[in-house]
Every structure is written in structure tokens, then in C-alpha cells.
Structure 1
Amino acid sequence: MILEGAHHRSITRTADGEGVCILDQRLLPWEVRWVELRSAEAAATAIREMWTRGAPMIGATAAYGLAMALAVDPDDASLSRAYQALLATRPTAVNLRWALDQVRTAVATLPELQRADAAFARADAICDEDASLCRAIGEHGLALLRSLHAANPDRPLNILTHCNAGWLATVDYGTATAPIYLAHDAGIPVHVWVDETRPRNQGALLTAFELANHGVPHTVIADNAGGLLMMQGKVDAVIVGTDRVTANGDVCNKIGTYLKALAAADNNVPFYVALPYTTFDPATPTGADVPIEERSPEELTRLTGPSADGIVTIKVTDSPASNPAFDVTPARLVTGYITERGVLASVG
């Protein structure tokens, strides 16, 4: 990722190797603050309270959390407790369980004194692989964006994205944003419509922050503006990330994604989903089988932002509120899946 003109990864080991550093995404874009996580409990808190988020990034953080637990107590009981505690933090993103399973399998048969080092090594490898996977997604997506731009070479290519599937949600590059960054770097004039993504505004706060740091032209729009823009011919393609793709190709992603897919289908706008293999869940038959996380109503009934007096929170309503964090887009609405293996018409 490009941050203040320099390249960084979204998660790195601390200087002593005993913890990890992440960006506190709750503060972005108003403050850039790196925080250290030095225990499984801290990793669990960071995931649950959304200091960090995004399916691959959640998995990476959880993997290190399990390693930190084993550094304190490497026995089987400690392994099981930390695994279950981290797994319980957020139910929808499949990368969380995948990463925890990877670390648990890597250490299960080892002597206790070897477990922590092996767990950290596996977590390091998960991060390295994620960066490579996202780079490959970007390269395959770049070919797609070249083709789309060739259809209208005299104007910028307009991409609409929802939520944040960028480098903040992964170790590097992002999923949905990787093709955009590579296209921009290759000289393709690309412009991004950035859904604000209520209620946590990950688009307006995080995706826009990323794109600005990379120098990519973009415009933040209200969540309900995308359909109009598609009707007006101002969107060439929709590219989103995902927290889980089920065996039949259904896509579980941030709430509001389904409505974008419906609008895209009605206006003949291609709708692409970018994901690594770690986000594909062949064990879950359809989107109807995915647990949908219900978050605090206060995320919807309160707004937080900067003022002259610092960060303030204001009340939007006193009415009851429901806050499902994800929805499911049926596979029939997906034009293609941009993966590390190429752009696929179907998954599985």
C-alpha cells in the first residue's frame, strides 16, 4: 500500500517479533495511528471492535493472535481456548476460520516448545501469500480493465465499488482495488465511484483514503446513487470484494452489495467480484447458509466525525434500528470472479 508516499503492508511484525502492528482503522482518515497487538486477547479485540477489518486482514490478524497465545502457553488447552476465542469474534468472513485452521494444523503435532515459532512462521506465510494473491488478482483484473477501456478509449474508465476491499482489508494491494491500482499505474485513465457504505462509511472513510494516497481519481457518492449513475451510462463496471463466496457462487459482502448487483443487471453493467481462494467456501452450499453478522444498532443511530473540538458523536435517531452487516448477492447476478487464477465465469 502507498501511505504518505511510502510503501507499507497493512500488518507487520513488531521490531522484537513478539507482536504485530496494524493501523487503527477506526481513526482513518482523520488520524493515521499504528497500534501494537501483543496478545491473543488484543488481536480478538481488534477484530471484534473493527480496529482492523476485511476478510483477509481478519484472517491474518487472527493467525498472529493464535501465535501470540502459544508464545505465552503452548499446551493443547491454550491452543483450543485461543482458537475458539478468535473464531468467535466475527462470524461471516470465512478467512477467519481458514487462517486459524492453518495455524492450528501447523502446530498440532509439534512439541510444545516448538509451537510458537511454527505458528508465527505460518502466520508470516499467510501474509506473504495474501500479498501475492492480491497482486495476481490485480494483474488479471488489469487485463479486464484494459479491455473495458478499449471500448471507450477517449474517456476515463468509470468503476463503481462498494465498501472497502483495498489494502486496508488485506495485507497489500486489496482485492477489488488491486486491478484499479495496477490500471492507474499502467497509465489507464480510471475514475472510481466510491459508495459511502453506511453505516460505518468504509467507502467514504477508507477506500477514498486509499485512492487519494495512490493518486487515483475518485468521487464519493451516496449509497443509493449508484443505480442512477448506471442508468445514465456513467459506470463501466462494478467491482466489489467479498467476505465469503459459497459453493454455488453466491457472494456474501457488505450490506448494500446486492442492490448494486440488481442495478447493474438492470442496466447491463458488468458486475465483478474479486477474491482469493482463501475466501471461497466450498463447504457452505449457498448464501442462505451463511451466518449474517448483526452489529450494534448504535453504528446506525450515531455518527462520528471531526469537529473544531475534536472527534464528536452525534445522535441520528432515537428509533429502534437493525444493523445487519452483510447481504448475499446470488451467483446469477455475477458477471465474473476476478481471482489469482484469472477471471472466472463461475467458481467451484
Structure 2
Amino acid sequence: MSEKKSILDYETVALDDAKSALVIIDQTQLPYKTEILSLTTQKEIWTAIYLLQVRGAPAIGVAAAIGIYLAAKEIKADTYEDFYAQFKKAKEYLASARPTAVNLFWALNRMDDVAKANSDKTVAEVKEILHKEAVAIKEEDIWVCKQIGEYALTLVKPGDGLLTHCNAGQLATAKYGTATAAMYLGQERGYNFKVFADETRPLLQGARLTAYELHESGIDVTLICDNMSATVMKNGWVNAVFVGCDRVAANGDTANKIGTSVVATVAKRYNVPVYICAPTSTIDLNTKTGADIHIELRPAEEVTEMWYSNRMAPAGVKVFNPCFDVTDNDLIAGIITEYGIARAPYSESLKEIFAKKEAAKAAR
């Protein structure tokens, strides 16, 4: 009799090249149902990104890379010029799915750069090069998350209480997660962290996804409503906050799931350090400050009726439903990347992180 599979036994995002499919866990169905989707059309992939069936900045990046490879695979063209014209249209289409997560554009631009750099190759060769690049992006994501976890572990000690908001876990990446990487590595090494997971209104990613995956892994996790974070911090139960992000501006302002800035503000009041777990792919040095980050507005129904059998707000009431908010850099104790921990002033330290990244590339 086979053991029941944990959610962590499934790949969040995968390529089934034989079936020309992007394979994902439908995260809108969790935790009630584990449904694996095999997406074969660009419309299906676009919709999965838009509807948050695949979500989390790193996972979106991997999905985009695989998605644009699959689009390229289907292109019928005799010349590179004809191929690239169709490729560019497919790229622009996928890029329109979500406006805030910089990884979407990062991954598509990286695939685009590879296509342009090989314009002297045959169309078949370019397609295979794009295939290898999509696979590389996924493999790199696993390495990046593990490195973030290793750096994060240097900031805490065994037995600490940690708080996280939204889901920057394995379900948001290829493996380990960003904000949860230290939790998973700590679990492997006997750190016995006590984790508090905010439920994260209105889409409940903390309740449905973070609490679910951490509980499945055996980590000591306690689910709290978003408005309970001040209480657990005041009680002294939280030693550090680890959260992910969707975009980091050049000055260290960070866009993450709505409510993150509230957690950071409360944490400052109770002297709890807030760390942003950010792959360098989410850092956008071309965006000067958080004020320049475009914030996606989501449908009102996510607030008024999505999780209820009966509508829970008056019909016709106005709803403001931004998907993200910006945490100002003065509320952030450090930005943890795969190449080290950046600290204020971020306008300088983030540049140093990228210099380390370039040096590592040159050394390879």
C-alpha cells in the first residue's frame, strides 16, 4: 500500500516536453484538492498566470520561461526573421498576464535575449536552445532559494519564532521557497522553529498555502488572522519576520502581497527585524522607488464573495482591492538574496549584490 503523497512531493511548475505542456499545481484548489493541470495552449498558460493558478514571483518566472519555449516550439517558420516575429508576439501576450511580478518580465526577457543572440542559427536550433534555457531557469531557481535559506539561517537561532505573510514557500517557487527556505533547511537541521503564518486576506494564501505546506512538512506552524500579528509580536513570540517579494526598487522599497507593509510597521514598533527574501531576479534597479511600482488592482468579488456561500458585503458597496502594497525601505532590516544580505543604504548595497553576481558569472 503506497503512502499518501504530501503536497511537497509534487513539482509546483514543470515541463512535460513530450506532451508540449506546462504542468502546474492548481493553487486555487488548495488545500481542498490537489489538481494537476497540463496546459498546452498559450491562452491556458496566460489564464493560469492571471488567475493565480500558478503564483509567486519565482514560480511565475519559471512558468513564463516554459510557456514561451512551448510557444516557440509550435511556431512554423522557415527563416529566423519569421520565427522571431511570431516569438515576439507570443512574448508580449504572456507579458500582459500580470503587471507587478517582475519575474514574469525577467524570464521572458531572458528567453528573448537568448533567441536574439542566436539569430545565426537554424529555427530548429534556436528552439532547442530555448528549451535548454527554460530548464536552466528552473534549476537556477532551486539553487537560488537554497542560497537564500542559508543566508537567512545566519540571522536566527534554533527555537526562534518566525512570522511570514502570504506564501513565499515551495508552492511559490521550484523548491524550498524564498521566505520559507530557512524554515525548511532549519527543519532538516533540528532548529525547531515556531512559525506564525498570517492568513493573508483576501485570497488567503497564508491559510490555504503556507500553513498547508508547512504543516505537511512537520514544521510547528500556527495560523493567525492578519490583524493578530501585533499581539504575537507584543507577546515576544516572534524573533524575525521573513517575507518574499514581487519587486524590489533600487532604493530598497519592496512590493509584496497586500498587508506586508502593515506587518513591517507593527514589527518596527516591537523591534522585530523584517527581512525580505528576494532573488536578484526580483530586484529592479531601473525602478527608482516604490512609488514607481505599478500595483495591480484585483476584482471586487475576491473581497465580497469569493470565500462565502452567501455574499458577505452589501450589494453595490465600493471595494478597493490592490494585490500588493509597498514596504518602505526604512522598515526593512535586510534584503536576503542568493549573493548575500543587502542592508541600508540599499541604493549602494543592492548594486554591490549585483557586482557579486556578475563576478560569480565571470568566474564560471
TM-score higher than 0.5 here? yes
Structure 1 equivalent of residue 112 of structure 2: 104
1:125 counterpart letter in structure 2: A
Distance 1:84 1:91 in 2: 12
- Report the secondary structure of 1:80's partner residue: helix
For 2:268 and 2:201, the matched residues in 1 are separated by 22
In the alignment, which residue of structure 2 is the partner of 1:231?
Answer: 234
Structure 2 equivalent of residue 126 of structure 1: 137
Measured after TM superposition, the shift of residue 17 of structure 1 is: 5.5
CA contact (8 A) 1:41 1:65 kept: no
The equivalent residue for 1:187 is 190
**Matches of residues 82-93 of structure 1 in structure 2 within 5 Å?**
82-93=90-101
Contact 2:59 2:173 (C-alpha < 8 Å) held by counterparts:
yes
**Structure 1 match to 2:53:** 51
Alignment check: 8 A CA contact 1:292 1:327 kept: yes
Q: Kindly state the Cα deviation for residue 5 of structure 1 after the two structures are TM-superposed.
A: 7.8
Total equivalences in the alignment: 332
What is the one-letter code of the residue matched to 1:79? F
Residue 118 of structure 1: CA displacement?
Answer: 1.9
Q: Which residue of 2 aligns with 1:315?
A: 311
User: Partner of 1:289 in structure 2?
Assistant: 292
SS of the counterpart of 2:306?
strand
For the 8 Å contact 2:8–2:217, the answer to whether it is kept is no
Q: Residue 324 of structure 1 corresponds to which residue in structure 2?
A: 322
Give the letter for the 2:336 counterpart.
I
Correspondence for 2:355: none
Quote the Cα distance in structure 1 between the aligned partners of 2:262 and 2:332. Answer: 12
| TM-score for both structures, normalised by structure 2 | 0.88
For 1:274, which of 272, 277, 290 is the aligned residue?
Answer: 277
> What's the offset of the Cα at 1:80?
1.6
**Residue type of the alignment partner of 2:26:** D
Letter in 2 for 1:200: L
CA offsets 1:34-58 (integer angstroms, 9 cap, x no match): 1111122221111011111001111
Task: Summarize the alignment of residues 143-154 of structure 1 with structure 2, pairs less than 5 Å apart.
Answer: 143-146=154-157, 149=158
Letter in 2 for 1:274: C
AA of the residue aligned to 1:300: V
Q: Specify whether residues 39 and 5 from structure 1 end up closer, same or farther in structure 2 by C-alpha distance, changes over 3 A only.
A: closer
- Alpha-carbon distance in 1 for matches of 2:147, 2:227: 32
Aligned residue for 2:361? none
More strand by share: 1
2:331: which partner in 1? Answer: 333
**Counterpart of 1:308?**
none
Q: Does 1:62 align with 2:58?
A: no
How many Å apart are 1:344 and its aligned residue? 2.4
Aligned to 1:4: 6
Report deviation, 1:299: 0.6
1:73 alignment counterpart: 75
What is the deviation of 1:83? 0.8
**Structure 2 unaligned residues grouped into runs of 5+:** 77-82, 352-364
RMSD value over aligned CA atoms? 1.6
CA shift, 1:107, in A, is: 1.3
> Helix, strand or coil: the match of 2:45?
helix
